[in-house]
Amino acid sequence: MIAVDGPAASGKGTIARALAKHFDLPHMDTGLLYRAVALNLWRWGGDPTIEFEALRACGDLRFDPDDEELRSEPVSRIASKVSSYASVRAALLQRQREFAAQDGGAVLDGRDIGTVIAPDADAKLFVTASPEVRAQRRVRELLERGMPSHYEDVLLDIRARDERDSSREIAPLRQAEDAELLDTSGLDIEQSIAEAIRLVERQLAEA
Ligand code: CDP
Ligand code: CDP
């Protein structure tokens, strides 16, 4: 069981997918669950500042992971808001725990995998990069998906989301004590993946 956590656009998703491939494990991007709740709410015109409405949006959580709307900036913002509600986190908990506990292991990435979902994970990474590098990556990514954006807006958004994710009471974004820190600011994708595999193999050997 491998836990990968970190802030927005740190590279955790890319790294988690590569680790799953390398170790031949199933992978879950847990951010998609919060994004699916946010998309439900967005489509209904629900109010993300009302916890009950956010909880209602957890009801029917079938979604297409390739749906571009899941990754849009408004949905990212709403996801970050609804993820601070205890009831929303509780509604999504079992699905993640079951995935993490499956025979043969799994890779999960998110904000609270190493701290809450799978505190006993065999290997844990906390992936970071500077806000500026992460904003540049997100701008490039959005452009590639045909959604042009402004660097300054994206940077503000990333900082706001970092602040909300780190300061919330329940399951805040933080590095687990036994997680290895991987700063990808100066690393390209191949280098980030190689370093992640090295750190995980070392943790598995020590376990
Ligand atoms: O890809 P990016 O890091 O921008 O976002 P994501 O991982 O898809 O997560 C979207 C939002 O869901 C985050 O801003 C978090 O507020 C929330 N989230 C969470 O609270 N806990 C998780 N395990 C995963 C995501
Ligand atoms: O999952 P998270 O939001 O943390 O990040 P990601 O989706 O894995 O990566 C965000 C963007 O940065 C993607 O377009 C990656 O291809 C890119 N990236 C990069 O340019 N350099 C890295 N070392 C890691 C990711």
User: For residue range 90-132, what is the model confidence (pLDDT) as tens digits?
Assistant: 999 999 999 999 999 999 999 999 999 999 999 999 999 999 9
The pLDDT confidence band at residue 190, using thresholds 50, 70 and 90, is very high
Q: Is the pLDDT score of 147 beyond 90? A: no
Domains observed in the chain:
2-206 (3.40.50.300)
Q: With beta carbons less than 8 A apart as the criterion, state whether 32 and 79 touch.
A: no
- Ligand 2 atom closest to the Cα of residue 140 is 14
Distance CA 188, CA 6 (A): 17
- Average pLDDT over every residue of 136-161: 93
* Atom number of ligand 2 nearest to Cα 137: 12
Cβ-count burial 137-151 (b if 16+ within 10 Å, e if not): bbbeebeeeeeebee
Q: Whose CA is nearest to atom 20 of ligand 1?
A: 83
74 CA to centre of own chain:
16
Q: Binding site annotation covers 7?
A: yes
Q: What is the pLDDT of residues 191-205, one digit of tens each?
A: 999 999 999 999 999
Instruction: Please write the tens of the pLDDT for every residue from 177-187.
Output: 999 999 999 99
The structure's pTM equals 0.96
Q: How far is Cα 88 from Cα 54, in angstroms, rounded to an integer?
A: 7
**pLDDT of residue 145 exceeding 90:** no
Please indicate whether residue 79, judged by its CB atom, sits closer than 6 Å to ligand 1: yes
Average pLDDT for the chain: 95
- Average pLDDT on 86-91 reads 97
Ligand 1 binding pocket includes 9 (Cβ within 6 Å): yes
SS3 labels along 117-165 = HCCCCCEEEEEECCHHHHHHHHHHHHHHCCCCCCHHHHHHHHHHHHHHH
Which ligand approaches the C-alpha of residue 142 most closely? 2
Two tokens, residue 156: 């503000």
Q: Is 187 in the pocket of ligand 2 (CB under 6 A)?
A: yes
CB of 8 closer than 6 angstroms to any ligand 1 atom: yes
Give the pLDDT band (50/70/90) at residue 72: confident
| More confidently predicted of 154 and 72 | 154
